[in-house]
Amino acid sequence: MLEQKLSNLKQRIQALKQVVVAFSGGVDSTFLLKVCMDALGRDHVLAVTARSGAFSEKEFIESQGLANLLNARQIIIELDELNIPGILDNPPERCYFCKRYLFNKFIDIAREQGYDFVVEGSNFSDTEDFRPGMVAIQELGIISPLKEVGLTKDEIRKASKEMGLPTWNKPSYACFFSRFPYGEKITREKLKRVSEAEDLLRGLGFYQFRVRSHEDLARIEVLPEEINRFFEQSFRDKITNEFKKLGFTYITLDLTGYRTGSMNEELKEGDRAAWKN
């Protein structure tokens, strides 16, 4: 099954002849860039990466290293999401406005560089969550080849490992906007606070986690098997003290543990259905 999907993916990419790849340096976009490079060759592939305060600087630097590793040409654009209309007040459809703005930039670059197609790395597993950004991607005619051929996240990790890609077991990242409940106004200071809080957890050895910010309350999500680390008083004190230095008043641990899209749990089914892609 996986071999057939990979064969279908290669054929799909080859039919496009030359592509601009929306490249973040994550598991999916790195895999997609590798497949495009193998199928089309360096001269027919261009990686475009957005640098912004909504993603960690570490992730941006890693994207540059991965592009070099794959010998891919990379263009970097600066993006300030807080200046995009419809973003600042953080509505449920926030991702729609952001993706529409961002991928219009990618389309402009594609045209300037003489490319007809822009591809991005959404996969089949992404259809299980509330993702209004996918509506914008479809409206703009952006191609999502991994999703088209039915590749799941687990399959992409497996194939990445077989290809020797260092991202095969990389934790899942997401825009820092996803750390805030819908309706809470987002500021640069809040984004920076969340980024520094997650850097702290990363430095303590946590693999997959999120710091969800509810005004002055931090809700920590870690993998269920790592929750027991918080049973030690000295460890909790360290987390509490450091988070308070960052400006949080209350620090809590989510007993359910890490899961993607936990901020979407508050949405009603009607809200989800309106943005079903």
Q: Which residues are catalytic?
A: 175
Residue 70 and residue 80: Cα distance in Å, rounded? 28
Q: Which of 229, 202, 51 is nearest to 211 (CA)?
A: 202
Residues 210 and 221: beta-carbon distance below 8 Å: yes
Find all residues with CB under 8 Å of 268, minimum gap 6, and list them: none
DSSP secondary structure of the chain: -HHHHHHHHHHHHHHH-SEEEE--SSHHHHHHHHHHHHHH-GGGEEEEEEEETTS-HHHHHHHHHHHHHTT-EEEEEEE-GGGSTTTTT--TTHHHHHHHHHHHHHHHHHHHHT--EEE----GGGGGS--THHHHHHHTT-B-HHHHTT--HHHHHHHHHHHT-TTTTPPP---GGGGS-TTSPP-HHHHHHHHHHHHHHHHTT-SSEEEEEETTEEEEEE-GGGGGGGGSHHHHHHHHHHHHHTT-SEEEE-TT---TTGGGGGS-HHHHHHT--
Residue 93 and residue 157: Cα distance in Å, rounded? 29
Residues 130 and 261: beta-carbon distance below 8 Å: yes
